[in-house]
Amino acid sequence: MPALVLKIDVDTYRGTLIGVPRLVDLLRQHDANASFLFSLGPDHTGRAIKRAFRRGFMQKVSRTSVVSHYGLKTLLYGTLLPGPDIGRRCADILRGVRDAGFETGIHCWDHIRWQDGVRRANVRWTEREMDLAGGRYREIFGEAATVHGAAGWQMNGQALRLTQRLGFSHASDCRGSHPFMPVWNAEIVNCPQLPTTLPTLDELIGIDGIDEGNVHQHLLALTSEAPASGHVFTLHAELEGMKLLPVLDKLLLGWRQQGYALSTLRALRDRLDLDRLPRHEVVWGTVPGRSGELLLQGDEFLARRVV
């Protein structure tokens, strides 16, 4: 049975408080498993306003109705309103996800700070952000996280190295087509990457006649034939856990009918033969429907022989 991994990014306080419990309930109804990756520090979503000057960002905002998905209060956190500490306020919810049998892991400490700053950040900045997230995760769960999935698919060389050095057994920090061992500037990082393989709902809605009523049909057409390693689909507690919950309901039913096992990143990792996993460069690039550049799976890395 082919696998389709459900990777759930939890970006905000509202998404954690409201979206996560709704997703847990819906997944249970469909007997589906999933990996929840949490933002563990302050919610500073309002600071994303500076992205208005980024090419393509305002077009995306107009397509996906940010206010209706995130709520006005969330869009003021970190500017006119103080950002709530997600990990402290929602620790019981996070532990409840684990206790319900789902995989949990780290998305980031401060979502906006990471997504907008990590690409050009120095070693000290990067280590501090990952240490803060790791420390809070241990505080909540009583153990270290084993999976990392970067906010906005944004990383730098040191962050990739830290996925290995901090003991993560697997990560999902980029977009791509199949699992691989990442290579950064000819340096192999010994932490397998399980990339997101499918477009997200917010990348599809509003383009080429796709709307909330038919987006599930478009996505199901993309999964009608399963690749050998299956698929990884990224969803968001703020979207599929709220306004787009009915769309996710249709997708879960459709994927079951297509014969997929709805699974976790951990389960995908456990099926891999790590010794035979291909090595690929990680590169910067764009994907349709999303503004700015993000980390992508590049060409296979073939080390030169020394003669």
CA 245 to chain centre: 17
Amino acid identity, position 233: F
State yes or no: pLDDT of 117 exceeds 80.
yes
Give the pLDDT of residue 305.
Answer: 40
Q: Which residues of 77-112 are buried (b: 16+ CB within 10 A; e: fewer)?
A: bbeeeebbebbeebbebbeebeeeebbbbbbbbbbb
113-124 b/e (C-beta count within 10 Å ≥ 16 → b): bbbbebbebeee
Q: Give me the pLDDT at residue 81, please.
A: 79
Question: At 139, is the pLDDT very low, low, confident or very high (cuts 50, 70, 90)?
Answer: very high
Interatomic CA distance for residues 246 and 121, integer angstroms:
39
In the prediction, which pLDDT does 302 show? 84
pLDDT for 60 equals: 47
What integer is the mean pLDDT of 7-19?
97
Is the pTM value of this prediction over 0.85? yes
- What residue type is assigned to position 74 of the chain? T
pLDDT, tens digit, for every residue of 218-264? Answer: 999 999 999 999 999 999 999 999 999 999 999 999 999 999 999 99
pLDDT band at 45 (very low <50, low <70, confident <90, very high): confident
Kindly tell me the sign of the dihedral angle through the C-alpha atoms of 266, 271, 277, 281: negative
Task: Write the DSSP string, 158-211.
Answer: HHHHHHHHTT-SEE--SB-SS-BEEEETTEE-SS-B--B-S--HHHHTTSTT--
Percent of the chain past pLDDT 90, that is, above it, reads 84
Please state the rounded mean pLDDT for residues 20-34. Answer: 98
Report the pLDDT value the prediction gives residue 188, as an integer from 0 to 100.
96
Question: d(Cα 172, Cα 175) in Å, to the nearest integer?
Answer: 8
Mean local confidence (pLDDT), 23-35: 98
Q: Which CATH superfamily is domain 3-300 in?
A: Glycoside hydrolase/deacetylase (3.20.20.370)
Kindly indicate the confidence band of residue 52, based on its pLDDT and cuts at 50, 70 and 90.
very low
Q: By the 8 A CB rule, do 14 and 84 touch?
A: no
**What average pLDDT score do residues 165-178 get?**
98
Q: What is the pLDDT of residues 290-299, one digit of tens each?
A: 989 999 999 9
Mean pLDDT of 79-93: 91
- 275 has a pLDDT exceeding 50: yes
Query: What integer pLDDT is reported at residue 306 of this predicted model?
Result: 39
Residue 126 reports pLDDT greater than 70: yes
Q: What is the mean pLDDT of the chain?
A: 92
**Quick one: tokens of 214?**
């038919």
3-class state of residue 269 by DSSP: helix
Pairing of strands 279-285, 181-184: parallel
**Torsion sign over Cα 118, 171, 107, 281:** positive
Q: What is the pLDDT of residue 96?
A: 98
User: What residues does each domain of the chain span?
Assistant: 3-300
For a pLDDT cut of 70, what percent of the chain falls above it?
90
Question: Mean pLDDT across the stretch 194-205?
Answer: 97
Structure-token pair, residue 205: 């809605």
pLDDT score for 82: 81
In this predicted structure, the answer to whether residue 74 has a pLDDT above a threshold of 90 is no
- Stretch 16-42: mean pLDDT: 98
Q: Which amino acid is at 141?
A: F
